[in-house]
Structure formats: structure tokens, C-alpha cells
Amino acid sequence: MAPRDAETDADANANAIRRQIESDPYCATLGIELAELGAGTARTRLEITDNLTNFHGTPHGGAIYSLADAAFAAASNADGETAVALETNVSYLEAVEVGTVLTATARETHDGGRTAEYEVVVADATEETDDRVATFRGRVYKP
């Protein structure tokens, strides 16, 4: 009976975390969607629109950062334990055009107990090759 209860609790926890993340007003304003959520992993999605571009006509770095940060936040909070960012870093690799759908895939790369590290890959989801657009690393503290 315990494994079934644990699975039910895990499902309920995942659903609660999903609802919390999906109700984030900032992400909703940008159009960021939570596509997948698992233990220490998450994937977010964003279609680049005209209102997310900079004066060069390419996606604003803040939009790409926000997409990666949303995946980072989802993955680091997926287990239901509060996690807050300690530091982040992003490297922009390629520019994409309006209409491109980007995904950010986050995964835990180190669990140090009260701290953890995550890697996020932002990729062009419209390309068969999943070309990288940016990479992001972040560390969290779990109080």
C-alpha cells in the first residue's frame, strides 16, 4: 500500500507544482508554457513574437533568459521543496527569427543537499537538429 500512496502523493505534488508554475504571471505575460515536468527536470516553450524582439529584430536576450529561468525554476522546485536561485549564467549562441518556437530543457547536474546545480539548453524546436540558441547554468539553495 505504501508505494501506491507514495505514487499518489508524488502525482498530487507534481500537479500542485505544475499549477503553481503555470499560474506565474510573468511567464504568462511572455507566453512561456510549461511543457514537461519531472524529478529534477523541466521543459518550457516559447514562440518568438514581434513583441519579444530587440531593435535588431532578433529575440531580446531577456526573453531567452526568462524562458531558461522558467525551466530552471520548474526543475529545481519539481520535488515540492522550495528552491531559490543563488546564481545564474547564460551564454547566447545563435539568433533566431520571429515565429521560431524555442524550448528550454533543464536538468539537475549536481545535488549537494541544500544546494543544487542545473543546466538548461535553449534550442530551436522548429529545427529537426534542435540547434542550441543558448545555454544556462544555475545554482539553487533549498532552505
Q: Indicate whether 1 pLDDT > 50.
A: no
pLDDT of amino acid 20: 83
For 8-58, the pLDDT digits (tens) are 776 777 788 788 878 999 999 999 999 999 999 999 999 999 999 999 999
Domain positions in the chain: 2-141
What is the percent of the chain with per-residue pLDDT over 90, rounded to a whole number? Answer: 78
pLDDT of amino acid 130: 66
- One DSSP character per residue, 44-112 reads EEEE--GGGB-TTSSB-HHHHHHHHHHHHHHHHHTTSS--EEEEEEEEE-----TT-EEEEEEEEEEE-
Which CATH code is given to the segment(s) 2-141?
Answer: 3.10.129.10
pLDDT of amino acid 35: 96
